Amino acid sequence: MASSSSSSSFPYVFLACLNFTLFILSLISLAPTIIINPTPTSMGWALIIVSSISLLSSFIGFYSRFCFVTHVTLLIASLAAQLLAIFALFTKENSTLLMMKSGRDPREVMVLGRLECGVLMAMFMLQVCVSGCAKWCWVRDYKTLAEESMADVEMNQKDMKTHLKT
pLDDT digits (tens, 9 = 90+) for 1-15: 344 444 567 777 888
**Segment 8-40, tens digit of pLDDT:** 677 778 888 888 998 999 999 898 888 888 888
142 in a structural domain: no
Instruction: Give the predicted TM-score (pTM) of the model.
Output: 0.73
In a domain, 112, yes or no: yes
Range of the domain at 94: 2-137
pLDDT bracket for residue 140 (50, 70, 90): low
> pLDDT category, 143, cuts 50, 70, 90?
low
Residue 108 resides in a domain: yes
What's the structural domain count of the chain? 1
57 lies in some domain: yes
Q: Look at residue 82 and tell me if it is in a domain.
A: yes
What is residue 35's three-state secondary structure? helix
Position 149 in a domain: no
Query: Does some domain include residue 115?
Result: yes
Beta strands in the chain (DSSP E): none
Q: Taking the CA atoms of 90, 77, 122 and 132 in sequence, report the sign of the dihedral they define.
A: negative
Give the SS3 label for residue 80.
Answer: helix
How far from 56 is each of 49, 72, 85, 113, CA to CA, in Å?
Answer: 10, 12, 17, 23
What does each C-alpha distance from 2 to 9, 13, 24, 76, 139 come to in angstroms? 11, 16, 33, 35, 22
Single out the residue of 122, 143, 138, 125 nearest to residue 12, CA to CA: 138
Q: Quick check: is 118 in a domain?
A: yes
